[in-house]
A and B are shown apart, each in its own frame.
Chain A
Amino acid sequence: MIWLALIMVCVSGPAWAGEAKPLGEDPAVEARLKHLAIELRCLVCQNQTLADSNAPLAEDLRREVREMIVKNMSDKEIIDFLVERYGDFVLYRPPVKATTALLWMGPFVLLIVGLAALIIAVRRRSQKLVDVPVTDEEHRRVEQLLAEGGKRS
């Protein structure tokens, strides 16, 4: 019985191998598509990645990317293909350029401004604290008061 099953498997094996796999089922292609699609923006629903979106355009673009993967194009070639057509906007991480300098540098500039403001504020405050010298007479009086307080409790 086992032998029969094995023979059946062996005989039918080449039959499955001959059948073309639908594009969507090749796990290697799907893995690369997923890896690329989370870097790409859906242009219709702009807060979603191409991986998340169900918009028809996103489906078309996934199909296009899938086909390019099957054609063995590199990630850079695929991304360049989309940037040529849709601009940097299609990238979820905008590239560092003159036009995006504020975007990339802004948080650091704000951080530096905030730190500078903090240092200035702390320095000003420490300047406001004036050392008031305590005389020996006052010192004795404090000690006396403390000692009295200790007894009362």
Chain B
Amino acid sequence: MNRFLLPLSIFAVVVVFLGVGLTLNPREIPSPLVGKAAPEFSQPQLYDQEKIFSPANLKGKVWLLNFWASWCGGCKTEHPVLMELAKSGQVPIYGMDYKDEREEALAWLQRWGNPYPVVGVDQAGRVGINYGVYGVPETYVIDKQGMIRYKQIGPLDPDTVEKKILPLVKQLESQ
């Protein structure tokens, strides 16, 4: 019996390590920006290119910043969730059109609906780099002081909105 004890315990340790490894998603890179001030930017707006979209104007509000693009498949997946959330009026979602063609972005919103009060344009992907975006869609929850409180990598789903985003928004609103 003793003979098998050591190999068996080594096996158990390896199984635990591999098991934990399986549940981790290598695509989900923890963002160092959570808990820090949301990087400033002033980008032209998608609809009215003369106007500027800047987070400075949103101080005192809790809001979401959603990086999306018309070429992005995941954005199509999360789009109904964003529409639903926008309709509920619980938190405004501001859009950032990431490395996209203006015409295609406009057509995309025309076709699927526009959940954003304002959409900024990040043609060169520089705002994306400042926010540590490495694949759209990504969504940030930003508090009244302009701090990033949460980062969602990949499409938002109804479950995440119900269980993470909305409770966090409520908590931040009450602060």
Contact = CB atoms under 8 A, between A and B. Distances in A.
B32 interface: yes
Contacts of B130: 85
Interface string B90-114: 0000000001000000000000000
Q: How big is chain A's contact interface, by range?
A: 10 to 19
B29 A87 contact: yes
A44 B99 CA distance: 15
Contacts, number: 41
A44 B30 contact: no
B125 interface: yes
Main secondary structure of the interface of B (DSSP, over half): loop
Interface residues of B, number: 17
A113 to B, nearest CB: 10
B33 interface: yes
B32 A84 contact: yes
Contacts of B131: 85
Given A60-B124, A60-B129, A85-B129, A43 B134 contact: yes
B35 interface: no
Nearest to A87: B32
A56 B128 CA distance: 12
A89 B125 contact: no
Interface string B128-165: 11111011000000000000000000000000000000
Nearest to B32: A87
B125 A86 contact: no
Interface string A73-89: 00000000001111101
A64 interface: yes
A44 B134 contact: yes
B29 A89 contact: yes
B30 A87 contact: yes
Interface in A17-44: 43-44
B99 A61 contact: no
A85 B125 contact: no
B31 interface: yes
Nearest to B27: A46
A128 B135 CA distance: 62
A105 interface: no
A85 B32 CA distance: 6
B117 interface: no
Contacts of B31: 87
Contact of A61 (B29, B32, B129, B135): B129
Contacts of A83: 32
Interface of B: 26, 29-33, 99, 124-126, 128-132, 134-135
Given A60-B128, A84-B33, 5 more contacts: A57-B125, A83-B32, A85-B33, A86-B134, A87-B31
24 contacts: A43-B29, A43-B134, A43-B135, A44-B134, A44-B135, A57-B125, A57-B128, A57-B134, A57-B135, A60-B124, A60-B126, A60-B129, A64-B129, A83-B32, A84-B33, A85-B32, A85-B130, A86-B29, A86-B32, A86-B134, A87-B31, A87-B32, A87-B132, A89-B29
